[in-house]
């Protein structure tokens, strides 16, 4: 499974990605609704770049992690 987390200030991007991956059970697109203080500051450099410039980042949950 791949999870795409989209910044809260990018609702159009969120909708576009949701529509693009609709029906693909391997991808989940979610909108980040956490407050700034709740966000971990430990993103890898490529993730930081995507988050800052494109408004999203992708993660693969660890195997054995509970599905949402």
Q: How many domains does the chain have?
A: 1
Residue entry with tokens 């709740």: 38
User: Is residue 67 in a domain?
Assistant: no
User: Is residue 1 in a domain?
Assistant: yes
pTM for this predicted structure: 0.75
Paired with 58 in beta bridges are 4
User: Is residue 57 in a domain?
Assistant: no
Residues spanned by the domain of 11:
1-36
Tens digits of residue pLDDT in 20-66: 999 999 999 999 988 766 766 678 888 888 888 999 988 888 876 55
Cα separation, 7 vs 56, in Å, equals 6
User: Is residue 56 in a domain?
Assistant: no
Determine the pLDDT at residue 46: 84
Cα separation, 19 vs 14, in Å, equals 9
**Under DSSP, is residue 4 helix (H, G, I), strand (E, B) or coil?**
strand
Determine the pLDDT at residue 5: 94
**Under DSSP, is residue 19 helix (H, G, I), strand (E, B) or coil?**
helix
């Amino acid at each position: 499974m791949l999870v795409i987390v989209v910044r809260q200030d990018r609702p159009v991007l969120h909708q576009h990605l949701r529509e693009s991956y609709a029906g693909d059970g391997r991808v989940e697109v979610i909108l980040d609704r956490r407050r700034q203080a709740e966000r971990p500051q430990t993103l890898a450099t490529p993730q930081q770049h995507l988050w800052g410039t494109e408004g999203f980042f992708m993660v693969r949950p660890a195997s054995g992690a509970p599905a949402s």
